[in-house]
Structure formats: C-alpha cells, structure tokens
C-alpha cells in the first residue's frame, strides 16, 4: 500500500478569478436550501480555518530539510491562501443575502485564538492534519460522485471543484510535515476526535442559522430530503465513514487513498486558457 506522497506531484496555486454570481442565488444548489447551506456553512469556516492551517505548518517550516517537502509547503501555503481569499468573496455574497456571517465566524475565531495561545505547536499541527483529512475525503467524493453538485449553479460548482482539486493535491503536506517533526499517532487521533466534534458543531450551526433566516427551519421536507442526501442509503456522508476511520490506523498516510487520477482528470479544467473561456 502506498504510504508516501507520490513522486512528481506538483502542488501549485492557480491564479483564477471566479467571478461569482452577483447576487448569489439564495439556493444556488439546484434550488435546494439544505444542500446550498451545507456548502455555505463550510465556506464560512474556510477563511479563518485555512489561515490557521498555514500558520500551523509555518511553525515547523524551518525544521524541514527535505527540498521536495519544502517546495510542497510553498505550494500548500499558496493554495490555502487563494482558497481563503475566494471564500472571503463568497462569504461576502452570503452577507449580502442577509445571513449573519460575523455571528457564525465568532465562535471559530475565539476557539482558534485560544488554540494558538494555549495549545502546544504539535497539537496545532495535528489539528490541521485532522481537518485536512476531512477536506481530502470530501474533495475526493465531490470530484468522483456527481451527487455532490448535481443541479448546482455552474460557477459555484466550478469554485467547489477547484477547491476540491487543490485539496487533493496538497492533502498530505501538513501530514508529511507532522511525520517529520512530531509524529505522535496518539495526538493525531485526539485531534481528529476534537476536530470531528467542532466541524459538526460549526457546520450544523451555520445550516440552522441560514435555514432559520430563510424561514425553513421547521420545514420537515427540507430536513427529510437533506438528511437522506447526507445519511440515507446512498448518502454522501454515509459513504465517507470508512475512509474517515482510516485516519485512526497506526500506519495511515493520506496517499493510501490514491486518487491521482482525479487530479489528472480535473486539472485541465483550470488551465489558464480554460479559465479565460469560462
Ligand atoms: Fe483549502
Ligand atoms: Fe487544505
């Protein structure tokens, strides 16, 4: 089983201007409030979350001597920086629709301030590895399974696929830095348990807030269809349980889920000429 990052993998930020719909259609995901707000709730977390990922890797950057990994760190920082930037623009569109993004960001900002002040550096990097695993398994599924974005506004789908592509490319960077500098599996598992709780908490809070503002919080059809989409027999989250649990194994490495073919399949969509044409 492959247990390292594939040789020759290039991690480079793409300079793209997404020109998001303005105004953003309130339910840009095929008119479905639940699906739209599941994605929106994640978007709210990205600017602060990704800044934290970058900072936690930077804490160990000087200790890395491997030139390949040093180059990958540069790519990782560039990619996450761009994601943060694009999601700020996306979140501004959400503000303009009347959602209280400041309220939704407040809890995460406070928590990250606490973590940076009180947690040891290795625990901070372990948290990044854990959340990067979350984003990696969701990115993989989003690129593979048309259910994730079926019916979505094409510009929004393009943004999410770009983010998923780059999350796939850099999925092992924080992990490889952690392996070369910290290495405790116990800390990784603890970080994953905590991250799972907070990710669920934050995305649920975002979803509830946005559904409430839309007057759909108590609409049972929205919940029935939404929860079936996530956790039903063919649910998009249900299918992730196995790959999520792999993280707890003693020999886990992100590239054991080898999906380089997805990088090859989607990267052509984000070459400069195709972005100009889109
Ligand atoms: Fe990202
Ligand atoms: Fe990432």
Q: Is 157 among the domain residues? A: yes
Question: How confident is the model over 118-156, as pLDDT tens digits?
Answer: 999 999 999 999 999 999 999 999 999 999 999 999 999
What number of other Cβ atoms are within 10 A of residue 192's Cβ? Answer: 21
Instruction: Please name which of 34, 42, 20, 140 lies closest in space to residue 86, comparing C-alpha atoms.
Output: 20
CATH number for the domain spanning 199: value is 1.10.620
Task: Give the distance (Å) from ligand 2 centre to CA of residue 171.
Answer: 6
Q: Is 17 among the domain residues? A: no
What average pLDDT does the chain have? 95
Task: Give the distance (Å) from ligand 2 centre to CA of residue 223.
Answer: 29
Residue 199: Cβ-neighbour burial (10 angstroms; 0-12, 13-18, 19+): middle
Q: Provide the number of structural domains found in the chain.
A: 1
Question: Does residue 277 have a pLDDT over 50?
Answer: no
Domain that holds residue 224: 33-277
One-character DSSP codes across 199-265? HHHHHHHHHHHHHHHTT-TT-HHHHHHHHHHHHSTT-TTGGGHHHHHHTTSTT--GGGS--HHHHHH
What is the model's pLDDT at position 276? 45
Task: Give the distance (Å) from ligand 2 centre to CA of residue 67.
Answer: 20
Q: Is 171 among the domain residues? A: yes
What is the model's pLDDT at position 17? 81
Q: Is 22 among the domain residues? A: no
What is the model's pLDDT at position 3? 62
Task: Give the distance (Å) from ligand 1 centre to CA of residue 53.
Answer: 9
Ligand nearest to the CA of 83: 1
């Amino acid at each position: 089983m492959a247990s390292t990052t594939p040789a020759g993998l290039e991690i480079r930020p793409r300079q793209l201007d997404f020109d998001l719909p303005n105004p953003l259609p309130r339910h840009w995901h095929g008119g479905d409030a639940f699906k739209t707000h599941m994605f929106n709730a994640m978007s709210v977390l990205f600017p602060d979350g990704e800044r934290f990922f970058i900072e936690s890797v930077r804490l160990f950057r000087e200790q890395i001597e491997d030139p390949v990994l040093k180059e990958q760190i540069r790519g990782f920082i560039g990619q996450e920086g761009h994601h943060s930037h694009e999601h700020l623009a996306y979140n501004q569109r959400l503000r303009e629709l009347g959602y209280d993004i400041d309220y939704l960001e407040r809890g995460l900002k406070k928590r990250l301030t606490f973590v940076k002040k009180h947690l040891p550096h290795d625990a901070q990097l372990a948290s990044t590895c854990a959340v990067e695993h979350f984003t990696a398994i969701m990115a993989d599924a989003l690129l593979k399974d048309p259910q994730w974005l079926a019916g979505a506004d094409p510009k929004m789908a393009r943004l999410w696929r770009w983010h998923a592509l780059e999350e796939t490319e850099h999925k092992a960077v924080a992990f490889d830095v952690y392996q070369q500098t910290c290495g405790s599996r116990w800390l990784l598992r603890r970080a994953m348990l905590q991250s799972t709780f907070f990710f669920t908490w934050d995305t649920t809070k975002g979803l509830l807030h946005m559904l409430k503002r839309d007057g759909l919080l108590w609409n049972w059809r929205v919940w029935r269809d939404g929860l079936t989409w996530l956790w039903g027999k063919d649910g998009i989250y249900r299918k992730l349980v196995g790959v999520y649990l792999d993280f707890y194994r003693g020999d886990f490495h992100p590239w054991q889920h080898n999906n380089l073919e997805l990088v090859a399949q989607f990267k052509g969509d984000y070459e400069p000429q195709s972005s100009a044409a889109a």
